[in-house]
């Protein structure tokens, strides 16, 4: 077994190397390949993806939101959410409902771009764009072990249908501390002053 530069090792092969050695080296090189696009889970495949995690005995953490312009508050929150379990799934509000929730001019980034930016984060294991205004159907479909929201929420300000669903399913609800001074709205206001 070798450890080191994949490229250097692959280019060092000579015609006398066995086919099996070449296959093993090529497979090993692919172990380190990164493709965050594979972390995007289509709505229709979400239940299947969840069952795979359950089969691996992974404690699934779920969260959801708009994540319109990623900032350090989001990154901090998502990292802390991921550390609550073994895998983090982010439910992403689609463009139609972001406009309805946040108002005209939003989202700044369209849903596929927002999903890809989230998927590129190391702390995020998967992203699913959901079709509804609330996360109720998303949460019912995914059945997380742990549900996380940021400190701008309390148990009383969660969508109460979602809260009842989670509590009835014995899902642990975690409210993480707010990261002071870090918000998309604050960032947009700062940009507008430039």
> CA–CA separation, 152 vs 17, rounded Å?
60
Instruction: Note the pLDDT of residue 182.
Output: 81
Res. 127: pLDDT tops 60: yes
From the CB of residue 86, how many other CB atoms can be counted at a distance below 10 Å?
15
Instruction: Note the pLDDT of residue 190.
Output: 87
Whether the bond between 107 and the residue before it is cis, its omega within 30 degrees of 0, is yes
> CA–CA separation, 68 vs 64, rounded Å?
12
pTM: 0.80
Average pLDDT over residues 121-137: 97
Provide CATH code, domain 36-192: 3.40.50.620
Selection from 50, 36, 34, 191 nearest residue 112 by Cα: 36
| Structure token digits, residue 93 | 């509000």
Domain ranges of the chain: 1-33, 36-192
Res. 80: pLDDT tops 80: yes
> CA–CA separation, 154 vs 128, rounded Å?
24
**pLDDT tens digits, 81-119:** 999 999 999 999 999 999 999 888 899 999 999 999 999
Instruction: Note the pLDDT of residue 6.
Output: 43
Instruction: Note the pLDDT of residue 11.
Output: 46
**pLDDT tens digits, 143-193:** 999 999 998 899 999 999 999 999 999 999 999 998 878 887 788 888 889
**pLDDT tens digits, 13-68:** 455 556 677 566 666 666 667 799 999 999 999 999 999 999 999 999 999 999 99
Res. 10: pLDDT tops 60: no
């Amino acid at each position: 077994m070798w450890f080191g530069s994949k490229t250097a090792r692959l280019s060092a092969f000579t015609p006398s190397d066995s086919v099996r050695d070449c296959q093993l080296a090529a497979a090993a090189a692919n172990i380190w390949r990164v493709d965050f696009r594979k972390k995007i889970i289509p709505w229709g495949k979400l239940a299947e993806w969840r069952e795979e995690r359950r089969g691996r005995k992974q404690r699934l953490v779920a969260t959801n939101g708009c994540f319109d312009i990623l900032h350090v508050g989001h990154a901090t929150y998502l990292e802390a959410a991921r550390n609550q379990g073994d895998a983090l799934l982010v439910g992403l509000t689609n463009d139609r409902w972001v406009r309805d929730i946040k108002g005209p001019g939003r989202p700044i980034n369209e849903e596929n771009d927002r999903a890809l930016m989230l998927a590129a984060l190391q702390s995020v294991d998967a992203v699913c764009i959901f079709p509804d205004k609330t996360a109720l159907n998303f949460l019912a479909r995914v059945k997380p072990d742990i549900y996380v929201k940021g400190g701008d929420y309390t148990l009383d300000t969660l969508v109460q249908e979602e809260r009842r669903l989670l509590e009835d399913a014995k899902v642990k609800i975690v409210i993480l501390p707010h990261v002071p001074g870090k918000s998309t709205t604050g960032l947009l206001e700062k940009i507008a002053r430039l």
